[in-house]
Amino acid sequence: MNSEDKKNLLVDGENKDDNVSVVYLNKETGQLTDLLLFYWLTSSHDAAVIGNNGHLTSIEIPSTIEWNGKRYAVTKIEEKAFANSEGLMSVVIPESVNRIGDESFFGCLKLKSIIIPDTDIKFGENVFKGCGIKIEENIELDEKGNLTDSILYYETISETEVEVCGCIQKTDVREIEIPSVIEWKRKRYKVSSIGNSAFENNEILTSIIIPDSVMKIGKRAFDGCRSLSSIILPKEMIKIEEAAFSQCVSLRDIYLPNSIKNIGVGAFGFCRNLVSVSLPTQLTLLEDGLFFGCNKLSSVIIPEGITSIGALAFARCSNLISISIPQSVTSIGNGAFLECHELSSVIIPEKITIIEKDVFLGCESLTNVYIPSQVSSIGDSAFSSCSKLQSINIPYRVKSIGSHAFSHCRNLIDFSIPFGVTSIKEDTFWGCSTLKSIIIPNSVTTIEDGAFSECSKLRNVSIPDSVTLLGERCFSECKALVSVSIPKSIISIGTAAFSCCKGLSNINVSSENQYYDSRNNCNAIIETSSNTLIAGCKNTIIPNSVLSIGDYSFEGCDGLNTINIPNSVLSIGANAFRFCSELSSINIPDSVKTIDIGAFGGCVSLFSVTIPNSVKEIPELVFKCCYGLTSIVIPKSVKYIGIETFAFCENLTSLTIPNDAIEIARDAFKGCKCQIKREDGTIYKK
């Protein structure tokens, strides 16, 4: 078997998954070999590793060897089997090994990684002596090859440097001073770094002094050190990696030397008691989530030279009152100041061209914000829930304003949308309850779902001729809105576009509009092609050409006392008259064949209603919470009454249902105190 065949066998052979190595007999030495390692048989079932080819950099010792068709378990590594293997850097020892002989890895200076199974292995003397693993004069080598001085573990990272790679948690060791130099066999090694997760979740540690020799603190090095309240960083430190001090909840302040050039993602995230911090002058980037959740952080000095503030960098720093962003900053990431509840004023640097999504979302105290003239885009929810923001100047270069961008800015009084914006996105001004006026330029072509929903003080709005689409609920619950004019350009109006506009008294559609009309000055919007009334008001007169009263068309229409439904109407849509609180009576003509879900739900003043013989079903919620309803007769045509159809009609004293078979769903009469009688006088049991 030649060398290449053996390599293929070891890498790609069928025994790969079982960690079996096929060997042959070297006739010159009398040893078994797989070209990488040498073996001898110690019994009829077992074998031992006795040496190697001297050129290995890494090796995974097989658990089994196969010779002459018979398999032998590798149970031992003989003494000095790998001694003085100068290039060897990593070894994986299989679970089959139960003994490692004296000095078996002696003098392997570059050996940095040994994977030893968690089994009962007997170690000889000086197994890892003279290795490059972790060496120090005061260190004991444990059975797994770890070096420890009873408090810290060390690992060599070069011929002259070591890294702190771990810590033994002891109840009496609360303060640690890391040495700058360790000595092993008269050779000195500089402690140059603290490794990944070295002190992670050490909840006992309260104080640590890091020597000037340390240049780097690794990922999650002190993550979860919940008692750590004091830390001294070296004056020449260069790098702090990802989440290095995350969840150090007792840390109140920390001095960051100006030598630091890189601080990783979330390095100080969730340091809930961190009060103030001054950032190093050599930093150019504030990484994502750098101070996320530092809810007592009240003061931050960002040095000139920073060019980017990452996503969520200061998110949920709920005590941050003010922050000065230097003019060197060219980008601010998503949610950078999200839910900074106490932040009252912000000046955005002149080089910023995009305000990303969620940047100031939930900044409840923000009253003043300066947006530079170069900004061309404002992202989704950028200023959402800035409830104290009264006014904001939007630069003329802005061409895009994202969904929810100013939603729930409850003190925003007026707003001018720049020319060039083509769409008012979903829920952009939703819940701006003090917004009184809005200027919509004729560059806008769409007003999307919920764009001005719950702008309860918005009295007048001019929809320009450029607009072609009004989305669902785009002006719903604009309670102060008095009049609406639909221009000729509109080709689509979404469901409930003007629902719950309690003050609406005048609706007009341009006579040039080809898709909608206000025929006969009816004070309503009618979809021309289907003859469906889609929006009405308290002064609406339904024309006798209307075939359908659309979903939500009169929802929340205060002031509507009574309305005449003409004989042309065939259907009443879902929630069509819901929450018409002053509607006292209604006559439904025999032409109506269907009444949809919740059509009259919440009409608390409705005391009288006649259901025609043409109706076959009364679906769920149709008369729910009609507190004023006192009596009702269900015609013989009705075969089904839905869930909670008459629920909580508390004053209903008389309800008659037909003798014929009728399906009544659960809770149809929930909360009703009256007896339900059939036409023949018998009592229906609920």
Dihedrals phi, psi of 11, to nearest 5 degrees: -90, -45
Span 585-631, pLDDT tens digits: 888 999 999 999 999 999 999 998 889 999 999 999 999 999 999 88
The per-residue pLDDT for 158 is 82
Burial of 531 (0-12, 13-18, 19+ CB in 10 A): middle
The per-residue pLDDT for 12 is 29
Which DSSP string corresponds to 475-513? TTT-TT--EEEE-TT--EE-TTTTTT-TT--EEEE-TT-
| DSSP character at residue 417 | P
The per-residue pLDDT for 686 is 62
Please state the rounded mean pLDDT for residues 99-105.
Answer: 91
Give me the long-range contacts of 424-429 (CB less than 8 A, separation at least 24): 424/448, 424/451, 424/452, 425/380, 425/401, 425/451, 426/450, 426/451, 426/471, 427/403, 427/451, 427/453, 428/401, 428/402, 428/403, 428/404, 428/452, 429/455
Instruction: Tell me how far apart the terminal alpha carbons of the chain are, to the nearest angstrom.
Output: 90
The per-residue pLDDT for 144 is 56
Domain spans of the chain? 3-123, 561-686
Same fold, 3-123 and 561-686: yes
Please state the rounded mean pLDDT for residues 325-334.
Answer: 96
The per-residue pLDDT for 327 is 95
**Contacts for 70 with CB less than 8 Å, ≥ 6 apart:** none
- Which candidate, 653, 663, 650, places its Cα nearest to that of 604? 650
How is residue 323 written in tokens?
A: 């922050």
The per-residue pLDDT for 594 is 97
pLDDT band at 5 (very low <50, low <70, confident <90, very high): very low
Output 673 or 501, whichever has higher pLDDT.
501
Average pLDDT for the chain? 90
Query: Residue 103 above 70 pLDDT?
Result: yes
The per-residue pLDDT for 122 is 85
Please state the rounded mean pLDDT for residues 460-472.
Answer: 95
Q: Which CATH superfamily is domain 561-686 in?
A: Ribonuclease Inhibitor (3.80.10.10)
Using CA atoms, how far apart are residues 344 and 355, in angstroms rounded to an integer?
18
pLDDT band at 3 (very low <50, low <70, confident <90, very high): very low
Span 500-555, pLDDT tens digits: 999 999 999 999 999 999 999 999 999 999 999 999 999 999 999 999 999 999 99
Query: Residue 389 above 90 pLDDT?
Result: yes
The per-residue pLDDT for 477 is 97
Span 107-165, pLDDT tens digits: 888 886 677 776 778 878 878 777 754 433 455 555 555 666 678 888 888 877 889 99
Please state the rounded mean pLDDT for residues 345-372.
Answer: 95
- Which candidate, 217, 138, 142, places its Cα nearest to that of 185? 138
- Tally the C-alpha atoms within 13 A of residue 653's C-alpha that lie toward its C-beta: 5
Only one residue has tokens 């060019």, namely: 307
When mean pLDDT is compared across 147-161, 344-358, 457-471, the lowest value belongs to 147-161
Output 182 or 457, whichever has higher pLDDT.
457
| In CATH, 3-123 is 3.80.10.10 | yes
Percent composition of the chain: helix, strand, coil (DSSP 3-state, to 5): 0, 25, 70
- Which stretches does DSSP call E strand in 186-265? 187-194, 207-209, 216-217, 230-232, 239-240, 262-263
Using CA atoms, how far apart are residues 343 and 360, in angstroms rounded to an integer?
9
